[in-house]
Amino acid sequence: MPLIATNLDTGAVVASNVVIAATRATRAVGLMARENLDHGEALWIVPSRGVHTCWMRFPIDVIALDEKGVIIDRVVHLKPWRIRLPRKGTAGVLELRAGTLDAVGTQLGHRIQFAQGSSK
């Protein structure tokens, strides 16, 4: 069942189809095997502090969240073959389709909440 990521400060749905990468294997592969992310798709990498886009084929937006879901780092259009070093206090990282963060008005300091979505 998918997760939905909502910005509690704006009420905007940041992603409606969030997949969790919580095992060593799923965190290692991440989005490398994907051709793209569709609108509403995201990958929640937990635990994770930083990310890289080596071997990826497309840019992504990235937010790092602390234990309370507060955005402590924000990167838009992170291109392939880049590294975003860990930020102190990061509990997990949400990788999104490039352009998502600006489109939904998600900024540093905003709070993200994950909730179960409905199965179709």
Greater confidence (108 vs 26) lies with 108
Indicate which CATH number applies to the domain containing 112.
2.60.120.1140
> 53-111 pLDDT, tens per residue?
888 999 999 999 999 999 999 999 999 999 898 899 999 999 999 999 999 999 999 99
**What is the Cα 72 distance to its own chain's centre?**
12
Inform me whether the pLDDT recorded for 33 exceeds 80. no
Q: Using 50, 70 and 90 to split pLDDT, how confident is the model at 119?
A: low
Greater confidence (83 vs 33) lies with 83
Inform me whether the pLDDT recorded for 120 exceeds 70. no
On average, the pLDDT of the chain sits at: 92
- d(Cα 69, Cα 39) in Å, to the nearest integer? 22
- d(Cα 44, Cα 106) in Å, to the nearest integer? 16
DSSP annotation of 109 reads T
Number of domains in the chain: 1
Q: For residue 86, give its domain range.
A: 3-116
114: enclosing H helix or E strand: strand 112-116
Q: State pTM to two decimals.
A: 0.91
- d(Cα 98, Cα 4) in Å, to the nearest integer? 18
